[in-house]
Structure 1
């Protein structure tokens, strides 16, 4: 018999004063949670569910089986954990508010740009500079397509694609993440000026990657993909409960990273929207994003221009998914996500700035409160 516990924020407030202080600041960010579902799952089935406000949480946790108690205490502490800033080269990225990670693909078969920035390196440099100027906190550079059906790329070819782009972006002073699942590419990218690794396999694809990232001491994003250990990231889904299964899988990859010697403060998590997931799976994960703060690490959301937007908007093609991308980015902000991985930087930064202004105003608006 296996018991698993999950503490999911389900009620939110514009600020703690609207709940007379009975709300928590979710993951040290700009979102406040005032009600939580404490869910007990046994052998894959939900057997009990409690609702609690912060002042009731100790009472609810005291009712849990001993085997689940320690994990529940850790999750409750994690939900209020404020994360330190990311130090990426000369740039410091604060994680107490949403930040924008800009996508730069140097692949011939990217679904969003069709290889434009691989074929024309100068256009890629100009695009990267424009995204930084528009407010991107960092650039995520990738040389291998991860769309369904894409062939696996030899690491030498991937290195040849990404290193010139990284060197050019490093020369302009940008903070850089390398989007790869191969240890050799990670090493070459870090040597060329990247400061962070973004691995769509959660460091499961390449047996060397866990040890290498630990040795380099760099931040790493662990993403969920059901086929992470193999060549096809999208294979082997078949979830019992998508949200809980992805949570458990990220929990396991986080534990593997810690066991390998990767510092807790260097770990970020990504639920992997679109990777081996149906529309129903993706919408469930978007709606449940606040739960993933219970793992105790900053969250990344990569939903920009993805297939789910087309599925929800009369099959809008990739180039016509800005509205849907912004809707998903705002859903991430409202869930307290720290990094938003996007194609449309200026528009997302503007949406973030307006969102942040509304959040700031809510903290000082006492007009609806007595006294």
Structure 2
């Protein structure tokens, strides 16, 4: 990238003047000594000095030595950096064609020079960033200059010099240069796909902004229109974002882009002295659940339990879904007052897994647990659980002292479940 060099104008000018003197003066003197036209040769040498000054001026790129950004040059004609590189190398191709009149050799040489510049940026520890995108832009700029030079020559009716030899030399140089650059890249360069990283960061930033808008709307819908978000935290998990927002009314969290709320808790946890009966609270909870958790409520059973007593009591309303008697992993628990104010909720919006057929009934599960522990059992629950990464129907049999987990499809006691 050349923006850093352009931004450092004083250092760039000094570097250019030194390199121009080092390359330009000897070129002019040698040309005059050999009775060759010197202006075009000197102009090309001075322009090459400019290229080296712009591309090799020390900077502060973030890549480590012998690393190179190998991301595909998808923004070759749209990014400012690529367009600057194209503009930098095009005049060199034009001048070289005017001087040598061998466009194919000049084009191959330009590509080799571009590759050499990128390799020096990677391995010379000068704080510059090697990039395949820059290499493509440099080469494209050289080719554009070559084509413009050929058009200019034909416009002046000056034919290329020895076209067959130009073709052979250009093709040979291209093959040898490609093999050499490929060997160096394979043997010494560590690829880093900054293009993909930038795209992921850009996508994550856009997703985070959208997630914040969604969680803010959800907070206002649950806590009230005057709710204000005071802060938020976003965590990436696979292809999803979990966003947690703190508001002046309480906290709320959910998954994006699934738009699935997973938890909320009001800052006001006291019960309200409301007029609603238990049945009316259950109806209000069901209305709330169907609005915010329609997938979880579908096919679920509602169970309500009182918290406390008196005028400020609240209720816990639980939703569970069963398939063939097996409790599915979906969970939804609401805490709601007698004014229908939802104090908080906890949700696990998991799709129902496909399970093998249950072959072990409750009586058999109790017998297996008793034989294993020698203790009588006082509770037995059949639910879906992950076992070695696979969903299985599992009996959880408890005796008050030990819990036993039994695969309800095979009758096998699962390891690691004999907990005192």
Which TM-score tier does this pair reach, normalised by the shorter chain?
A: under 0.3
> Scaled by the length of structure 1, what TM-score is found?
0.20
Which one has a bigger Cα radius of gyration?
Answer: 2
Is the helix fraction higher in 1 or 2?
A: 2
> Scaled by the length of structure 2, what TM-score is found?
0.18
Q: Structure with the greater relative contact order (CA < 8 A, sep ≥ 6): 1 or 2?
A: 1
